[in-house]
Structures are given as structure tokens and as C-alpha cells.
Amino acid sequence: MHRRPAFAALVLVAFATVAPARAQLATYCGGVIQAEAFGRQVIPGVQAAYSVTLRNAGGQARTLVLVVTAPFTDRPVPSPRSLAPGSRTTIGLGTQMLLGRSPLRDNELAETVRITCQ
């Protein structure tokens, strides 16, 4: 009887030390600008509003221009945005009418975003 609790504790420790790997969503500007998360607010069957959270992983401020290539309504106007080193910003990507379609997944959203750094 004393072996089972010890074995269970060993199994718990083994699983606790294995953290799930987090997939990198997307990087831009040579890897300095990182997409940390893509957000979505969904009204099922009607529409989905999308956003991206970007982080400047570099040691210098970056000026970036984001372009959304998908035919969303309310897309952001491509204009320069400054991002300080280590800082984050969330940018709305626009709204998609669903009407029989599923909301876009992270990889699909990553394909619709183009970022250039100046």
C-alpha cells in the first residue's frame, strides 16, 4: 500500500515537469516583432472581429506598418506605429461576416497580416 502513493507522486512530478510547448504564431521584421496572440470575438453564424497582439522583442524602438490582406470590414489603415523595446500592442484586424463559415484560426489570421518595419 505504501508503494502506490509514492508511485502516484512520482507520476505527478513527471507530468508537472513537462510543460506544453507554445507554438510561435508569427514573426515579422527578422523575428523582432512577434505575434503573441490572435484574438477573436465571435457572434456564431454572424460575424467575427479579429485582433493581434504584437511584441517588440528587440532592444530598439521599431516603427512598423501593418497591412491586413483579407477582405475584412473595418480593416486598419496602413500607417506607421511605434513600438518601444519589450512593449506590446493590440491592433484590431477587422470584422468578417461568417454566414455559414467558421471563424479564422490563428494560422489563417497570421497569413492575412503583413508587417514591414522602417
What are the boundaries of each domain within the chain?
A: 22-117
Residue range 24-53: mean pLDDT, rounded: 93
> Which pLDDT value is given to residue 20?
33
The CATH label, of 2.60.40, 1.10.3470, 3.30.460, 2.30.30, for the domain at 22-117 is 2.60.40
Neighbours of 3 (CB within 10 A): 7
Q: What pTM did the predictor assign?
A: 0.77
Across the chain, mean pLDDT equals 84
pLDDT digits (tens, 9 = 90+) for 7-23: 333 333 333 333 333 34
Q: What are phi and psi of 56, to 5 degrees?
A: -90, 105
Alpha carbon distance 3, 75 (integer Å): 61
Q: What pLDDT, on the 0 to 100 scale, is given for residue 24?
A: 53
Q: What is the pLDDT of residue 15?
A: 33
Q: Examine the pLDDT at 108 and tell me if it is beyond 60.
A: yes
